[in-house]
Amino acid sequence: MAYRVGKDALPDYAHRYSPKTYTLAQLFACLVLKSFCKTDYRGIACLLADCPGLCEAIGLQRAPHFTTLQKVERKLLNAQSGHALLDQTILWARHAKLMRKRVKLTAIDATGFESRHVSAYFVKRCERGQKGLKNKLYQTTTYTRFPKLSVLCDCATHLILATKTGRGPGADSKHFKPVLNAALKRVRIDTLTADAGYDGEPTHVYARDICNVRTIIPPKCGRPTDKPPRGRWRRVMATRFDKDKYGQRWQSETTFSMIKRIQGSALRARGYWSQSRELNLKAITHNILILYHRRGFLQSRTGTVIENSSR
């Protein structure tokens, strides 16, 4: 499935003078397998060398070197190619009848990832209290900066419609406009739900008046008071709040849980841009895994799309 998505979204080769040993679609499929197996470049290269059936599935004559995968990730997961790959997963989801061009209910949220692997047992053994105390406390880990991923997902299918990477801790609302704009380029959205971290009158005005998207955000920001909010749309949220639809906002938490349980919550990359590329790869892999479970429907209903995937 990753190979077919890459074949539709990417050219065969990065340059006309390239060695033409591997196609970009084949290397992209190796990167998706790397994220799924929760390994590094050396690990996935050894896995492909030990499992020739995996290479045959995507037409590889031999397993690529790990440096080849490391270099091609910079090209495939940059701003332009990364958006094209995510666009293709949404297009395939529409072919599979998972979603339509108009999405009724979506949710936006952000989550943090671990920048390094930390043993929970080691943290538990570290004592925070003084020596000799009867009630000894355990140390807890705190991060001053951590990788952060903001996503806008479809509540019905958990497909990710748009992403934005950054560093936390920080306000979630600053990523609201770029994430919403990226999602509207792919689908039309009726209703958007968000938690109180996105609360603000400018957020409602931009979504409702400019983008024509209904927002459901609880008006919780500011000091507690019995007076109604001053803004027009925040006052509407305080008086006519749709609790039933807002209850589906938790589907975004399910999306994050799916990513972290299957692909891991810790990143192997160390630099900012490499961490951003790894987060984008996790989001694209998440959509591909959802499409993979619908592969039977794709082969039966959209066989022409699969056969003619190499344009």
Q: What is the pLDDT of residue 139?
A: 57
What gap in Å lies between CA 287 and CA 33, rounded to an integer?
13
Span 11-32, pLDDT tens digits = 999 888 888 899 999 999 999 9
Tell me the CA distances in angstroms from 254 to 111, 181, 191, 271, one per residue in order: 12, 23, 18, 28
What gap in Å lies between CA 25 and CA 31, rounded to an integer?
10
- In this structure, are residues 286 and 258 in contact, taking their beta carbons and an 8 Å threshold? yes
| Number of helical H runs and strand E runs in the chain | 15, 5
Span 42-98, pLDDT tens digits = 999 999 999 999 999 999 999 999 999 999 999 899 888 889 999 999 999 998 888
What is the phi/psi pair of residue 164, to 5°? -155, 125
Q: What is the pLDDT of residue 148?
A: 93
Q: What is the pLDDT of residue 259?
A: 95
Read off the pLDDT of each residue in 235-249 and give the average, rounded to a whole number: 91
Q: What is the pLDDT of residue 115?
A: 83
Radius of gyration of the chain (CA): 22
User: What band does 306 get if pLDDT is binned at 50, 70 and 90?
Assistant: very low
Query: For residue 187, what is the DSSP state?
Result: -
User: What band does 178 get if pLDDT is binned at 50, 70 and 90?
Assistant: very high
138 CB contacts (<8 Å, ≥6 apart)?
Answer: 123, 124, 126, 127, 128
User: What band does 212 get if pLDDT is binned at 50, 70 and 90?
Assistant: very high
Q: What is the pLDDT of residue 309?
A: 38
For residue 251 the two structure tokens come to 């589907």
- In this structure, are residues 181 and 206 in contact, taking their beta carbons and an 8 Å threshold? no
Q: What is the pLDDT of residue 155?
A: 94
158 CB contacts (<8 Å, ≥6 apart)?
Answer: 251, 254, 255, 258, 286, 290
User: What band does 297 get if pLDDT is binned at 50, 70 and 90?
Assistant: low
What amino acid occupies position 98? L
Q: Domain 99-276's class?
A: alpha beta
CB atoms within 10 A of CB 248: 16
Where are the chain's structural domains? 1-77+294-311, 99-276
Q: What is the pLDDT of residue 105?
A: 95
Report the first-to-last Cα separation within the chain, whole angstroms. 16
- In this structure, are residues 252 and 107 in contact, taking their beta carbons and an 8 Å threshold? yes
